[in-house]
Amino acid sequence: MRYGILFRLAVLLSAFGVLATGLTGLYSFLQSRELLVRAAERDLMSATRGAGRRLTTLVRGIGDDVRFFTELETTRAIAEGQDAMVESHKSALADAFHAMLRANPHYLQIRYIGAQEHGLEVVRVDRDSQGTVRVIDDRLQEKAHFPYVFRALALPRGQLFLSKMAINREVGSHSALNQPCLHVSSPVVSDAGQPLGLVVFTVDVSQIFSDLRADLPPYFRLFVTNEWGDFLVHPDASQAFGFDHGQRVLVQDTFGDVQPLLDGNSPAVLARAELGSPGLQPLLGAFIRLPLARDDARSFVVVGVAEPLSEILASSRTLGLTVLQIVAAFSAGAIVLAVFAARLVTRPLKQMTGEVRRFADDQAQGELPTQRGDEIGELARGFRDMQSRIASTLAELDASRRHLAHMARHDTLTGLPNRAMFLDRLEHAIVQTKRQGGCLAVLFVDMDRFKQINDSYGHAIGDLALVKTARLLKSSVREVDTVARWGGDEFVILLESMDEEHEARRVAQVLLDCFARRMVVDQHAVDLGVSIGISLYPRDAFDAAELIQRADEAMYLSKHRAGNRYSVFGNESVE
């Protein structure tokens, strides 16, 4: 199948339009997708910093609560043991512990531990399944070997100790047993600066982080690790506190970009991860390093908030569909415009093609878009010039052809038909006469004294004499008759549609009368005279050559008889 320039140009322009629209749509989609990711990164970092601030506020609040109890006169009175009201003070302090536990669900245990007797618990209130309970007498335990005791006793007044977040394995701790806990403690110091004991809060880490998670959108994931990268909070609960089960699950193994945060080389990072756990999709997360103790740079946690990439890119799917629809609409428009542009371009070309064919068929020059100022206009003007030149050349060729055809059938000197044309007309006349009946005559005319004129006056005068003879012969016969130059000073005349022989004799006599008078040729009076021979069809011959031959014989008969007369083949001559 052959495709025209309209189809090819339309396809080409459509391809350019669709390609440009598609690339623009793809670029817009990718840029919008990137903007969505960047916006999500900003939102995640803001959410992470917000969670960090909330955690810091919670920890500071816990520290304030701890310091509050270390500064109570009741606590000091118990620690110093200077009056008989110690038991009353213990009861009052226990009541305060009860109230604090009831007011703060994330507190699991509050204790006052003395500095003496190996860190024996003095006042202790725990949370259990029924509410809060005070532990007394022999159920009080020695805790001097725990870091939150001996390290807190070594601190100055008002300073806090924060333990590592870990699973609490202390036997008899009621609701705190086997729960992830944080111990916050602060010393009770005498006016002389001696440590008398300490107040320690056991905090439910799960409750704290549940509160943090509740402030986040449901599709956000909360991660918290210790300073080594062990997960303390993970969307998959089995991954949290793995070190307590002899298996370390590190954030840097999942989010490799978090390592600089753990090394202290960056306060915040963005990271991506492909989580392999069931139900967890690829995530984009923002992580910050959050110090817990002001005076210990090594005591920090890493807080991270992550969002599934599917949630981030959910709107991009709608955007992609919208972009696809826009691309399809603009592509359709590009195709329509391409077809219109192709028609606009090819219409004048088709017009010129039609004019080329028309010119090739009949050399007619039609309308061309010569008024255009573009390349098509230049082509049209060039084609118009070519048409004019071809038309001029064809006219010249036609004139030359007609001239050559005329010369091939006419005598160049006199303009009369030549021998070939006379024979052709004679043959046609014989056929017509044979079909319609009647007769025709051939007159063979020879000039009697033409040689003397050439010898006396020259060939130029002789040629002029031949021309005047031709005119005289032609003017002496009818329009339907044919006068031809046979050669030299010989002429032949075809008389058609005759009824009787005397009509040919009459014409011959008219010719004799015309040539009996002197002819003036270029101011020379010459006496020519003619000898005429007549043959008739069908009496004397049945074909052209033989008919001319009979007329020629009759002409020689007139010339042998002194000329200036006519002879009819088979009859006597008449002067």
Q: How many CA atoms lie within 13 A of 569 on its CB side?
A: 23
Is the separation of the CB atoms in 378 and 386 below 8 Å?
no
Question: In sequence order, what DSSP letters do the residues of 254-315 get, joined into one string?
Answer: H-GGGHHHHTTS-SEEEEEE---STT---EEEEEEEEEEETTEEEEEEEEEEEEEHHHHTHH
Tokens of 388: 């004019």
The C-alpha atoms of residue 519 and residue 526 are separated, in whole angstroms, by: 5
Q: Report CA-CA distances (Å) from 384 to 350, 365, 374, 538.
A: 15, 8, 15, 59
Is the separation of the CB atoms in 211 and 219 below 8 Å?
no
Is the separation of the CB atoms in 208 and 115 below 8 Å?
no
Closest CA to 387 of 402, 365, 404, 371: 365
Options 489, 499, 543, 552, the catalytic residue: 489
Is the separation of the CB atoms in 536 and 440 below 8 Å?
yes
Is the separation of the CB atoms in 558 and 573 below 8 Å?
yes
**What residues have CB less than 8 Å from 397, skipping those under 6 apart?**
none
Is the separation of the CB atoms in 270 and 41 below 8 Å?
yes
Tokens of 345: 């371009």
Strands 530-537 and 565-568: parallel
The C-alpha atoms of residue 122 and residue 115 are separated, in whole angstroms, by: 10
Helix (H, G, I), strand (E, B) or coil at 528: coil
Let me know if 211 is a catalytic residue: no
The C-alpha atoms of residue 480 and residue 31 are separated, in whole angstroms, by: 96
Q: Is 360 exposed, middle or buried (0-12, 13-18, 19+ CB in 10 A)?
A: exposed
Tokens of 278: 């069931």
**What residues have CB less than 8 Å from 405, skipping those under 6 apart?**
none
Q: Which residue has the tokens 């160049």?
A: 412
Helix (H, G, I), strand (E, B) or coil at 565: strand
**What residues have CB less than 8 Å from 322, skipping those under 6 apart?**
none
* Residue positions counted in the chain: 575
Active site residue ranges: 489
